[in-house]
Chain A
């Protein structure tokens, strides 16, 4: 049976997470390590999100639409990688789903990909205020969903700094660094608020937006670095 491409598999992603197992999708997952990795990570997020919700609600359509749109916008959806490259990748250790999924993409694209992750995190962080869950669970959930992202952003920031250092406009470089510091400060303050009041939806909303701003800023910084190369 002719296997489908990664791009075609994306159409199966949402039904797959809902439990559908079409044969051609199964066949593709058996041969594509990248898509398999994406599915396992999304299943994890999906399971976590479900476990946080007493209402057992599904991820809304907008989450999948946003995720799909972001992946398409960033050019992350592409044809399947040749088998020999797949085999080579199989030897490499798994270093996080974004980095293992898109190892050859330039940094700007990779930084932009964090926005896609944020869509999933946003869903994880969102929810009715009066949800009947205890604070410890909220706090744990927030930390679980934001900690890997925070680490990924810190890694991206290190790369961005090396890029932006080559920018030849000191005003622009200074502005980017000042604003990055500002966003980091807000992230720290928001995290403090969330720790103090885990169910405070406003604080969680601000924390999410601060992460989004940081991802956006890092994307700009890396794009700028490429332009001055």
Chain B
């Protein structure tokens, strides 16, 4: 069930000739303001593990977790030529932006959102341009954008992010991460996750985080820089290959403890084990540079 916050009718002043002269210019002013951004706030009561879907063409989407069993959607459309629909179906809340006329100018197609969800919420977000920011949500997440950047903080669960040109930053994330892009840069910071699969064509990939025992970390690009920072206590089995680029390594590797079935004979390749080789790291580039550096 949802509730919307609007101005109650009884709050409006009673009309009189004396006040009419003051009211008319005021109302005209109000109508002019109403033609601009119209902030709307809606609340939806949900059960455990709700699903929230957001479809927006352009704008800033900020999602934060809170302790309430409720989803709050605050939307701010850039114009009255678009409308934000938020509706609940069972334990699912669907938020979408739609055009109210056939020809809407690009600047008018923008809507910003501030959304609060329960910690265990599952998110499905599609935002073409602008930015998507999610913090402290522990449920699974799927984010797809074209040009919009994606910032996830303290997220867990199964995180899948797909952009065309948007950058992706994941800070202190756990769980399972799969990210792909064509030209977006990836920054995977202070991660604590067992599975990372990240692939971008021309973007850079930076990974700083723990390599957990039995974890798998696969980073791949076509060009650009792949940089992995390790600490002395880490334990991993490393495979780094750049077909036409360089591989720079600061880790003191020993011959791999585990048999490699596939040893490419093309490009610059590096294989070896650091400490006990508990995690598995695969770094692959076509003509980019791969850096395996000590963490500061």
A192-229 toward B: CB 8 Å interface, digit per residue (1/0)? Answer: 01000100111100100110010001001000100000
A169-B58, A171-B147, A175-B147 are known contacts. Are A202 and B164 too (CB-CB below 8 A)? no
Pairwise interchain contact B201-A168, C-beta atoms closer than 8 A: no
Contacts of B183 in A (CB 8 A): 178-179, 182
Contacts of B286 in A (CB 8 A): 186, 189-190, 202-203, 206
Pairwise interchain contact A183-B201, C-beta atoms closer than 8 A: yes
Q: How far is the CB of B82 from chain A (nearest CB, A)?
A: 11
The binding surface of chain B is classed by DSSP as loop
User: Does A170 make an interface contact (CB < 8 A)?
Assistant: yes
Contacts of A213 in B (CB 8 A): 182, 201
Pairwise interchain contact B146-A176, C-beta atoms closer than 8 A: yes
Pairwise interchain contact A178-B165, C-beta atoms closer than 8 A: yes
A186-B201, A206-B222 are known contacts. Are A168 and B243 too (CB-CB below 8 A)? no
Contacts of A210 in B (CB 8 A): 201, 222
Contacts of A168 in B (CB 8 A): 103-106, 109
User: Does B5 make an interface contact (CB < 8 A)?
Assistant: no
Of B109, B241, B284, B286, most A-chain CB atoms within 10 Å: B286
Residues of chain B in range 141-182 having any CB-CB distance to chain A below 8 Å: 146-147, 164-165, 182
Contacts of A209 in B (CB 8 A): 199
Residue ID in chain A nearest B284 by CB atoms: A202
The listed residue (B57, B104, B164, B222) touching A220 by CB distance below 8 A is B164
Q: How far is the CB of B164 from chain A (nearest CB, A)?
A: 5
A129-B262, A179-B182, A183-B182 are known contacts. Are A169 and B165 too (CB-CB below 8 A)? no
A168-B105, A170-B106, A202-B243 are known contacts. Are A182 and B202 too (CB-CB below 8 A)? yes
Tell me, in angstroms, the Cα distance from A206 to B288 when the chains sit together.
13
Tell me, in angstroms, the Cα distance from A168 to B82 when the chains sit together.
13
Contacts of A129 in B (CB 8 A): 262, 264-265
B17-59 toward A: CB 8 Å interface, digit per residue (1/0)? Answer: 0000000000000000000000000000000000000000110
Contacts of A200 in B (CB 8 A): 243, 266
User: Does A172 make an interface contact (CB < 8 A)?
Assistant: yes
The listed residue (A172, A193, A206) touching B146 by CB distance below 8 A is A172
Q: How far is the CB of B236 from chain A (nearest CB, A)?
A: 21
Pairwise interchain contact B128-A172, C-beta atoms closer than 8 A: yes
Tell me, in angstroms, the Cα distance from A84 to B284 when the chains sit together.
53
Contacts of B265 in A (CB 8 A): 129
**Chain B residues within 8 Å of A, Cβ to Cβ:** 57-58, 103-106, 109, 128-129, 146-147, 164-165, 182-183, 199, 201-202, 222, 241, 243, 262, 264-267, 284, 286-287
With A169-B109, A171-B106, A202-B243 given, name 8 new contacts (CB 8 A): A178-B183, A183-B201, A186-B222, A189-B287, A202-B241, A210-B222, A217-B164, A224-B128
